[in-house]
Each structure stands twice: as C-alpha cells, then as structure tokens.
Structure 1
Amino acid sequence: MFASLFVLLYVGHLLADYPFQTDHQAAHKADRCATGWAANVTHAATHVATCATALSIGAVALNDVALSLPVAFGALVWIGATHSFIDRRWPVAAWMRIARQAGWAAHGGAAHVDQTAHIAALAVAALCLSA
C-alpha cells in the first residue's frame, strides 16, 4: 500500500507545484509580508487539495488503498505544513549553507534540494498512511 499511496501523493504534489501553481504564488510565496504569506498559504492549500483528491481517487479505484480518515487528515495537515515551511526558501538556503553547497546553490541546486525535501515529507506521509 505504501507504493500506491506515495505515487498518489507524488502526483498530487507535481500537479500542485507545476500546473496549479500561479506565477504570483511562485514569485511571492517566500516574501516576508502579508502578500507573501497569502501566496504561501494558498499554494500549500492547493497541495492539500490535490493530495486529498488523489488519495480519494486512489481509495475508490485501487484495491490496496484503505484509508483511516483521522490519519489521512493528519497526513494532509503534515503535507500542507511542511510544504509551506520548505517554500519559505530560507530552510533550503540554510541547509545548503550548513552542507557547504554554496557553489551548487549558485548554479540552481536550491530547486533540487527543495524538491527533495518535499518528496521526503511525502514519503513520511505515505508511511504514516500505510502503517
């Protein structure tokens, strides 16, 4: 069941991060002002909605997906909260500084670290959902 749940969450993540993310959200989700927080929270809510939809479809269409509503709710809160936190950008920048990745950061590495952090958070959610 873990693999099915992870794929469902990953598809929801890809949809929310790429075709469903507005230019405004992408440009402002890390800004330290009300506009930035609004863009960030709206983007994180899009992740929660797309992942909830993917999980719902999976629960109906796949034989190996059985969900507990309280655990699914907790997983969706986790997805929204971690996505919002990671997308503030400073956590990724701090990680890259600590890991001595300044050169990689200067050449586009932050986007890869960002996506890796998001996928790790999805893996935790899928593990919790399948336990």
Structure 2
Amino acid sequence: MFPSLFVLLCVALLLADYPLQTDHQAGHKADHGAAGWRANLTHATTHVIACSFALLVAAVILDERVGVLPGVVAVALIGATHAWIDRRWPVAAWVRIARQQNWAAAGGAAHVDQTAHVLVLAAAALAITALS
C-alpha cells in the first residue's frame, strides 16, 4: 500500500503546488499579516483537498484499505506542515544552517522546499500504511 499512497500523494503535491496554486498565493503566502496568512492557508487547503482526493482514489479505485482516522490525521498534518514550510523562514533557516546561501539564491531554495514536502508525504504514506 505504501508505494501507491506515496505516488498518489506526490501527484497531489505537484498538482496543488503548480497548476492549482494561483499567482497571488505563490507571491503572498509568506507575507506578514492577515493577507499573507490568508494566501498561505488557502494554498494549504488546496493541498488538503488534493491529498484527500488522492486517498479516496487509493481506497475506491485501487481498493487500498485506507483507515479513515489515519487518513484524516495524515491529511491534516500534510496541510499544517505545508503551511509551515511555505512561510519560507524554515527553508531559509535550513539553507543558512547548511551553508547553502549561494545555491539557494540560484534556485536551490525551491528544491529544499519540495524535498521537505516530499519527506512529509513519505511519512504520511508510511503512517497510513502502518495504521490502516
């Protein structure tokens, strides 16, 4: 079950982060104040919906035994961690600690961001598999 859940959650991530993310969300999700949080949480909600749909596909089409409680908890954590990572300061902190400022300035920060999201998805797929 882990491989199919992981792939489906990764597809949901890509959909929510690229074609389903508006320019406004991308440009303002790390801003200070209510407008930044609104853009951030709207974007994170897109992830929750996309990941929920991915788990529904796993359960209905692939006949995977996805437990409701593990699925709900995993999707909630995916949404929360996505919002946290996308505030950008966690990625900036990692880049600073790892001494990767030049690489990050040349586009590497986006790779750190996506790697963090994929690690969360792997943990979620593993937890759902173990608990379902």
Mapped to 2, the partners of 1:111 and 1:99 lie a distance apart of: 15
Please tell me the residue identity of whatever aligns with 1:97.
R
TM-score (norm 1): 0.97
Query: Does structure 1 residue 15 correspond to structure 2 residue 15?
Result: yes
Q: Which residue of 1 aligns with 2:90?
A: 91
Shift of 1:58: 1.5
C-alpha contact (below 8 Å) 2:58/2:66 kept by paired residues: no
Q: Which residue of 2 aligns with 1:29?
A: 29
Q: Which residue of 2 aligns with 1:66?
A: 65
Q: Secondary structure at the match of 2:30?
A: coil
Q: Which residue of 1 aligns with 2:75?
A: 76
Please tell me the residue identity of whatever aligns with 2:92.
A
Q: Report the count of equivalent residues.
A: 130
Mapped to 2, the partners of 1:50 and 1:103 lie a distance apart of: 33
Please tell me the residue identity of whatever aligns with 2:74.
A
> Among the aligned pairs, what percent are the same residue?
64
Structure 1, gaps ≥5 residues long:
none
Q: CA RMSD in A?
A: 0.6
Q: Which residue of 2 aligns with 1:51?
A: 51
Please tell me the residue identity of whatever aligns with 1:111.
A
Query: Does structure 1 residue 2 correspond to structure 2 residue 2?
Result: yes
Mapped to 2, the partners of 1:24 and 1:123 lie a distance apart of: 28
Please tell me the residue identity of whatever aligns with 2:84.
F
Q: Which residue of 2 aligns with 1:42?
A: 42
Shift of 1:54: 1.1
C-alpha contact (below 8 Å) 2:6/2:122 kept by paired residues: yes
Please tell me the residue identity of whatever aligns with 1:54.
A
Shift of 1:50: 0.5
Q: Secondary structure at the match of 2:19?
A: coil
Mapped to 2, the partners of 1:15 and 1:87 lie a distance apart of: 16
Please tell me the residue identity of whatever aligns with 1:36.
G
Shift of 1:43: 0.3
